[in-house]
Each structure stands twice: as C-alpha cells, then as structure tokens.
C-alpha cells in the first residue's frame, strides 16, 4: 500500500464509505458513526505497523500503546468506552497529519 492508497482510504472512511479496507480493521470495539450505520473498529486501529514509511515515530508509538491496551484484555470482554473513541480519533488525526506531511514533502498536496 502506498501513501496515495492510504490517503484515499482515510478519506473514504471520513465520508462513510469504509469498504475500501474491509479486512484491515482489527481487534477494536470503538464504534464510529458512518453512512452505513455503526461499525466496529476505527481506521486508526488498523494495521498501522504496515505503514512505517508513512507515519511518524509518535504515531507508531501511540499505536503500539493502544495495541498493548487491547492485549491486556480479551477482545470479547473489552467494553466500548468513551476513552476508546477519543484515543481512536486521536490516532486517526495523527495519521492524517503524517499523510499530509508526506504528501507535502513529495510536493503532491
């Protein structure tokens, strides 16, 4: 996946068309409202580790922190909480910033 595919996926998510990455969402129970109703997971909880070349150190560090939180409890026992939603949105925001910076560096924004 390159930065353009990634940015396209993020923008698809933001407009509620999430089917571009149906298999990428993993063990989160954060719920996000979109045009297709509620779905489990948020794009920020996807396999961010695969995007090491596109996201910054702080984003990867925060992602690993969230990943460790998920591993502390079984996914079926983990409740959907306001804190999960806030963290997911924070990670999504960080990813969007990183994508924008990468595109600026390449001169394609």
pLDDT at 80: 57
Q: How many CB atoms lie within 10 A of CB 43?
A: 24
Kindly state the tokens that stand for 20. 């571009």
DSSP state string for 37-50: EEEES-GGGS-GGG
Helix (H, G, I), strand (E, B) or coil at 23: coil
| pLDDT tens-digit series, residues 64-109 | 777 776 666 555 555 456 666 677 777 777 877 877 776 666 665 4
Average pLDDT, the chain: 59
Q: Which residues contact 50 (CB under 8 A, 6 or more apart)?
A: 1
pLDDT at 93: 77
Strand partners, 39: 32
The span from the CA of 15 to the CA of 34, in Å, is: 7
Q: Are 91 and 66 in contact (CB under 8 A)?
A: yes
pLDDT at 48: 59
| pLDDT tens-digit series, residues 30-49 | 444 444 433 334 444 445 55
pLDDT at 70: 63
Q: Which residue has the tokens 């999430």?
A: 18
The span from the CA of 71 to the CA of 96, in Å, is: 25
Domain residue ranges in the chain: 3-106
């Amino acid at each position: 996946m390159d930065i353009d595919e990634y940015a396209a996926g993020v923008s698809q998510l933001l407009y509620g068309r999430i089917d571009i990455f149906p298999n990428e969402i993993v063990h989160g129970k954060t719920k996000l409202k979109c045009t297709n109703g509620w779905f489990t997971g948020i794009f920020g909880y996807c396999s961010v580790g695969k995007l090491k070349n596109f996201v910054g150190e702080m984003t990867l560090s925060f992602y690993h922190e969230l990943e460790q939180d998920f591993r502390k409890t079984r996914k079926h026992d983990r409740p959907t909480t306001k804190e999960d939603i806030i963290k997911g949105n924070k990670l999504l925001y960080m990813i969007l910033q990183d994508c924008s910076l990468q595109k600026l560096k390449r001169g394609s924004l």
